Chains A and B, each alone.
Chain A
Amino acid sequence: MVNKRMNKKNAVNMMTRKRQDRIFCISALAIFLVHWLIFWVYANMSSIQMAFTHYDLLLGEHVVLPQDKIFDNFVEFFNKITGSNVTYLLNGAYFHIISSLLCLPFSYMIAFIIYKKLPGHGIYKTMLYLPVILGSMVTSLLYMHVVESGISGLWDMYMEDSFPYVFTDVRYNRLTVSIYAIFYGLPGSLLINLGSMSRVPNDLIEYGELEGLSLFKEFIMITVPMVFPVLQVQCLGLFTGFFLNQGPLFALYRESAPDELQTFGYYMFIKVYNSESKANANNAVNYGFVSAANLCIGIISVPIIHGTKWLFDKIDPGAEF
Chain B
Amino acid sequence: MKKNLKNIICTALIPVLAASSFVGCGGGDTSSNDEGFKYTGNETTLKIGIFNGGLGYSWLEKVGREFEKDFANVSFENGKMGVRIVPHPDKVSFRADLVQSAIEQNVNADDIYYLAIYTGPEYIYKGYAADITSAVVDKVYLDNGELADMEWDAEQGKLVAKAGATAPTKSIADKMVDTNRVGYYYSENELDFNKDGTADYNPGYYSLPFENSLSGFIYDYDLFSEMGWLDYDGIDGLPDTMDDFFDLLDRIVAADMIPYTFSKGVSNYWPGLYDAFIAQYEGLDAAELNFTYDGEYTFDATTSAQMKADYPDVENEEYLTVNADGTYTVEIDSQNAWLLAYQPSKSELMKFLRKLADPKYFDPDIYKETHNYTAAQDQFVLSKLGKNKQKRIAMMYEGEWWENETRANFNYTGGYGKREFRFFPLPYIEGQKDEDVRSVCDYSRGVDLFVNAKTKKLDLCKLWLQYAHSESALETFTMETGVTRFYDYDLDEEQLKTLTPFGRNTYKIKMTNETGVTVFASRAWIDPNDFYRDTPMGGFSAYIGTTAYYEWGGSSPYSPIQWMVEHAGVEGQGEYIGIDTIVNGITDYYTKANWEQAYNAWESLQ
Q: Which residues of A are at the interface with B, using a C-beta cutoff of 8 A?
A: 54, 56-61, 63, 65-66, 69, 141, 144-145, 148-149, 153, 156, 162, 164-165, 167-172, 252-256, 259, 262, 267, 270, 274, 276-282
Contacts and interface: CB of A to CB of B under 8 A. Distances in A.
A312 to B, nearest CB: 35
A169 B572 contact: yes
A59 B193 contact: yes
Contacts of B107: none
Given A168-B367, A274-B95, A276-B95, A254 B265 contact: yes
Nearest to B51: A279
Given A54-B605, A59-B193, A256 B556 contact: yes
B525 A148 contact: no
Given A60-B125, A167-B368, A253-B369, A279 B265 contact: no
B126 interface: yes
B357 to A, nearest CB: 15
Contact of B370 (A59, A65, A149, A156): A149
B530 interface: yes
Contacts of B574: 170
B122 A58 contact: yes
Interface of B is mostly: loop
A255 B556 contact: yes
A148 B370 CA distance: 7
A44 to B, nearest CB: 20
B122 A279 contact: no
Give the most central of A69, A144, A156, A168: most B CB within 10 Å.
Answer: A168
Nearest to A173: B572
A164 B556 CA distance: 24
Contacts of A167: 367-369
Given A57-B533, A282-B96, A277 B268 contact: yes
Interface in B487-515: none
A280 B368 contact: no
Contact of B125 (A58, A169, A170, A280): A58
Contact of A256 (B95, B126, B265, B605): B265
Contacts of B122: 57-60
B435 interface: no
A168 B369 contact: yes
The 9 closest A-B pairs by CB, nearest first: A169-B572, A60-B122, A165-B367, A167-B369, A168-B367, A279-B117, A57-B534, A148-B370, A148-B368
A257 to B, nearest CB: 8
Contacts of B555: 259, 262, 267, 270
Contacts of B117: 279-280
B604 interface: yes
A63 B365 CA distance: 45
B116 A279 contact: yes
Given A170-B573, A278-B557, A252 B193 contact: no
A268 B497 CA distance: 51
Interface in B263-282: 264-268
Q: On chain B, which size bracket covers the interface?
A: 35 or more
Contacts of B557: 278, 281
Contacts of B121: 58
Interface in B193-226: 193
Contacts of A156: 388-389
A148 B369 contact: yes
A58 B533 contact: yes
A58 B556 contact: no
- Residue from A153, A252, A282 with most neighbouring chain B CB atoms (10 Å): A282
Interface in B47-76: none
B26 interface: no
Contact of B446 (A164, A165, A280): A280
Interface of B: 91-92, 95-97, 116-118, 121-123, 125-126, 193, 264-268, 364, 367-370, 388-389, 446, 525, 530, 533-534, 541, 554-557, 566, 571-574, 604-605
A103 B268 CA distance: 38
Given A169-B572, A281-B557, 18 more contacts: A57-B122, A58-B122, A58-B530, A59-B193, A61-B126, A66-B604, A66-B605, A145-B370, A148-B369, A149-B370, A165-B572, A168-B566, A168-B573, A170-B574, A252-B369, A253-B369, A276-B91, A279-B116
B265 A170 contact: no
A270 B389 contact: no
A19 to B, nearest CB: 34
B132 to A, nearest CB: 19
Contacts of A278: 268, 557
Contact of B605 (A63, A148, A276, A282): A63
A308 to B, nearest CB: 30
Contacts of A256: 264-265, 556
13 contacts: A56-B605, A60-B123, A144-B370, A156-B388, A167-B368, A167-B369, A170-B572, A171-B572, A259-B554, A274-B95, A278-B268, A279-B117, A280-B446
B367 A280 contact: no
Contacts of A164: 572
Contacts of A141: 370
Nearest to A165: B367
A172 B367 CA distance: 13
A173 to B, nearest CB: 9
Contacts of B96: 274, 279-280, 282
Contacts of B265: 254, 256, 277
Contacts of A276: 91-92, 95
A63 B606 CA distance: 10
Nearest to A164: B572
B538 to A, nearest CB: 10
A153 B388 contact: yes
A277 B266 contact: yes
Contacts of B125: 58-60
Given A148-B370, A153-B388, A274-B95, A280 B525 contact: yes
A84 B126 CA distance: 38
A254 B388 CA distance: 28
B329 to A, nearest CB: 31
Nearest to A252: B369
A95 B253 CA distance: 42
Nearest to A279: B117
A279 B525 contact: no
A6 B515 CA distance: 102
A235 B388 CA distance: 48
Contacts of B193: 58-59
A274 B97 contact: yes
Nearest to B263: A277
Nearest to A255: B556
